[in-house]
Structure 1
Amino acid sequence: MNAPFEPRRRTPTAAQIALAAQCRDGGGPRQFIRSRVPASVYLCPDRFAAEQARMFSALPLVIGPSAMLPDPGTLMTHDGFGAPLILMRDRQGALRIFLNACRHRGTRLIDAPDPVKEPLLVCPYHAWAYALDGRLKGLPRPETFPGLDKGTMGLVPVPATEAGGLIWAALGIRGPKMDSAAPGIRGPEKNSASQRAETADFALAEGPLAADFDALGLGDMHLYARRTHRVASNWKLIMDAFLESYHVQRLHQDTIAKFFEDGVTSGDTVGPHMRSAVARVGGLDGVDLADWPALRRIVTYAYQLFPGTVLVASPDYVNLMVLMPQAVGETLVEDFMLIPERPQTDKAEDHWRRSWELLDGRVFGVEDFGAAEAGQKGLESGAIEALELGGLEQGIRAFHETVEAALG
């Protein structure tokens, strides 16, 4: 689509090379299968409530890219998943996540959907003040709170990690209350039997997924643009669009179809997460799969991070989409566009603006999200009892099997 982003001194992981090899070598005859997904999984309120409780509240979720809060001494709020959060970087750059609630009376501390620089976080109600590591620094008239131990009255932390250029959090898990030696973003330690906290498993986020994202250079990229879309669709219909390539030559015929080979794709799994590769026009014959810039020109990698995040690595930029279900038929999708560096010239700015308008403004915002909304209306009409999936759509079936397993 544009000049490819060539990561400096980076190499693809073994898994990324393997997916490319499958695209190159898997062009022979294939035996296709069919499967079905019940329409009710997109329509049932009880199921939606179970998904919220057992998946979006219980599993590690991607909040956004590290680049959404790049500077030390800054903070921002996040409310898309229902829990009021504050993301804060202290002066050393360590990032922590806390509930946006004062420990005095529960008052919301701040509204800052975009990063702001603050030396302290001061409650607007009674002026209790917190440092950017969550510690309670001070309060007016402390003598009126005899015996209050400030070391136990820090903000309530949310277990989280920052790895591979992404911020992950486990929203339904609460750590022990902060003390003056509060640890960083990896999550609070259990410091007594009475303060035991469930632990979030970030092993995949910090391990194989981070390795792939480090290879893509995600942690060093610049956040060029972000936009939140309100989509009148069940969240799983949106995920479905990024789990198959069957639609690319049809739905995207006027935008990006010309760049891709029809059906030349491969995929694997990383725990509950799915990883895929789609070959672009030109093919991989003769391409050295260890040559990362050459590989990036031909292969678009996509990651479906369970339960509801999509990362698409185009040749010269990355789109990260975080799905935040609001109701059975309503989903917020925050789209982030990450580029190698801040635009240095008017020509560079024009290049990235056109890429953003193409992907967020048309391919995702109109075509993919529009198809999800149209599908939701069709399912709500009762027209079909189950979705028919063909041989190029079995990633959808695998994803729904993972959802079923998570629901128990």
Structure 2
Amino acid sequence: MNAPLLRNLMPTPGQLALAAQLAAGGTRTNAGITYVDASAYTSPERHVAEQAGIFAHVPLVIAPSALLPQPNMAVPHDGFGKPLLIARDKDGNAQVFLNVCQHRGTRLVEGNDPVCASRLICPYHAWSYTLDGALAGLPRPDSFPRLDRHEYNLKRLPTREAGGLIWFAFDEAADFGEAEALGHDFDAFDLTGQHLFRRRTHDVAANWKLIMDAFLESYHVQRLHAATIGPFFKDGVSTGDHIGPHQRSAVGREAALAACEAEDWPTLRSAITYTYQLFPGTVLIVSPDYMNLMVLMPQSEGRVLVEDFMLIPEAPATDKALAHWEKSWNLLDAGVFAGEDFRAAALGQQGLASGAIERVTLGTLETGIRNFHDAVEARL
């Protein structure tokens, strides 16, 4: 990200505190060795319990705001087990609906690509809806005497847009307070102003928690990523804290670690990669010049969909800029994430499912994983 774009942005006290801890050598812990039962990753009953006790109730990130950059846009979304529709109405408000016509239950919008239209028209009987979910029209209205159109609006789910992310919940009583509080952190990165460069959904043969585990510790970076991004980071120098059930961590880049002592936000951004683990299953990685948002959608105890969004400061204006971002996208999405992190998770799932070990062992550089699993247990 260009420094001039950061001059008017202000870091939060928490972000500055993590930078100061990195400058001092990172966080040290004497927590000792802890364990996670292998069944937490392999039990079908556990998967059902997590879906019923966590994903059915808590706020979930579904997409970055940049997925819908203009009013009157909609994107179908099927990753969370029900047909959903992410929409931005004519006034610019984000909404999440069930993607179901209220006449006969037909799926309203097909595919998974963005649709730009002032009305969404059912392919069966052509009932139409505006992007705020209101029933706008129907053919032969005389055949539905005394029909109250307000009773046939699309079914809206609780939705909040904060700090450049769109959250929703299946539970009407879900509390979005922590999601809105996180928005202040994301405003410091201008997440709302980012451009969506690429998105891709990966189908990974692993439990969703194995994916989360990979982004909750830096112990693996110099090993798993030795041929890609490992050389950029200082081994074992990291720090982190909590925002409710969510975790915020930071690692220093090897070549710029001394800059962590600076108080200038653009300088800090060039030296630090911030990572946010948004409970239950979202990861935001804020690199110095771009961001990756990963939304995890568990399908079974051994399968998860991971949608990766790459966000950049502005749309590429030249072929050189396009080539630069394509290189970054291919390095991270295909190389680091799919080729290394997701592959390691799938190999871990194979090993755990074999019954070879009864528990996973966590060291002092993996305390973020311990905190995450404690949060899962607390919700269950």
1:80 aligns to what SS in structure 2?
Answer: coil
Deviations 1:211-268 (A, max 9, x none): 1111011100000001111100000001000000000000000001111011111111
Q: Normalization by structure 1: what TM-score?
A: 0.90
Question: For residues 121 and 30 of structure 1, what CA distance do their matches in structure 2 show?
Answer: 54
For 2:149, give the aligned amino acid: K
Contact 2:297–2:306 (CA under 8 A) maintained in structure 1? yes
Deviations 1:263-295 (A, max 9, x none): 111111111111101111135446554311100
Alpha-carbon distance change, 328 to 29 in structure 1, aligned in 2, over 3 angstroms:
closer
Contact 2:19–2:261 (CA under 8 A) maintained in structure 1? no
Bigger Cα displacement from structure 2, 363-372 vs 100-109: 100-109
Residue 199, structure 1, aligned to residue 173, structure 2 = yes
Runs of 4+ with deviation above 3 angstroms: 2-6, 26-32, 282-289
The aligned residue for residue 114 of structure 1 is 113
**How far 1:74 moved relative to its partner?**
1.6
Bigger Cα displacement from structure 2, 124-133 vs 156-165: 124-133
**How far 1:206 moved relative to its partner?**
1.1
Deviations 1:121-151 (A, max 9, x none): 1112222111111111122222222221112
The number of residue pairs the alignment matches comes to: 380
Contact 1:5–1:316 (CA under 8 A) maintained in structure 2? no
Alpha-carbon distance change, 29 to 145 in structure 1, aligned in 2, over 3 angstroms:
closer
Alpha-carbon distance change, 3 to 253 in structure 1, aligned in 2, over 3 angstroms:
farther
**How far 1:112 moved relative to its partner?**
3.9
The aligned residue for residue 195 of structure 1 is none
Question: For residues 94 and 102 of structure 1, what CA distance do their matches in structure 2 show?
Answer: 21
Structure richer in helix, relative to its length: 2
The aligned residue for residue 75 of structure 1 is 74
Contact 2:27–2:238 (CA under 8 A) maintained in structure 1? no
Q: Which runs of 5+ in 2 are unaligned?
A: none
Matches within 5 A, 1:12-31: 12-27=11-26, 31=30
**How far 1:4 moved relative to its partner?**
7.2
**How far 1:3 moved relative to its partner?**
7.5
The aligned residue for residue 208 of structure 2 is 235
Alpha-carbon distance change, 284 to 258 in structure 1, aligned in 2, over 3 angstroms:
closer
2:108 aligns to what SS in structure 1?
Answer: coil
Question: For residues 28 and 252 of structure 2, what CA distance do their matches in structure 1 show?
Answer: 17
Deviations 1:55-79 (A, max 9, x none): 1111100001000111112211111
Contact 1:24–1:283 (CA under 8 A) maintained in structure 2? no
Alpha-carbon distance change, 406 to 287 in structure 1, aligned in 2, over 3 angstroms:
closer
1:152 aligns to what SS in structure 2?
Answer: helix
Question: For residues 176 and 29 of structure 2, what CA distance do their matches in structure 1 show?
Answer: 36
For 2:184, give the aligned amino acid: A
Question: For residues 262 and 18 of structure 1, what CA distance do their matches in structure 2 show?
Answer: 20
Matches within 5 A, 1:3-402: 7-27=6-26, 31=30, 33-170=32-169, 172-173=170-171, 198-207=172-181, 209-282=182-255, 284-285=257-258, 287-402=260-375
Bigger Cα displacement from structure 2, 367-376 vs 151-160: 151-160
2:6 aligns to what SS in structure 1?
Answer: coil
**How far 1:5 moved relative to its partner?**
8.7
For 1:18, give the aligned amino acid: A
For 1:205, give the aligned amino acid: A
2:341 aligns to what SS in structure 1?
Answer: helix
Alpha-carbon distance change, 51 to 113 in structure 1, aligned in 2, over 3 angstroms:
same
Question: For residues 277 and 201 of structure 1, what CA distance do their matches in structure 2 show?
Answer: 27
Alpha-carbon distance change, 287 to 126 in structure 1, aligned in 2, over 3 angstroms:
closer
Q: Which runs of 5+ in 1 are unaligned?
A: 174-197
Alpha-carbon distance change, 11 to 206 in structure 1, aligned in 2, over 3 angstroms:
same
The aligned residue for residue 189 of structure 1 is none
**How far 1:210 moved relative to its partner?**
0.3
For 1:203, give the aligned amino acid: G
Q: Normalization by structure 2: what TM-score?
A: 0.96
Alpha-carbon distance change, 237 to 149 in structure 1, aligned in 2, over 3 angstroms:
same
Bigger Cα displacement from structure 2, 380-389 vs 280-289: 280-289
Question: For residues 369 and 3 of structure 1, what CA distance do their matches in structure 2 show?
Answer: 30
Question: For residues 333 and 348 of structure 2, what CA distance do their matches in structure 1 show?
Answer: 20
Question: For residues 65 and 248 of structure 1, what CA distance do their matches in structure 2 show?
Answer: 26
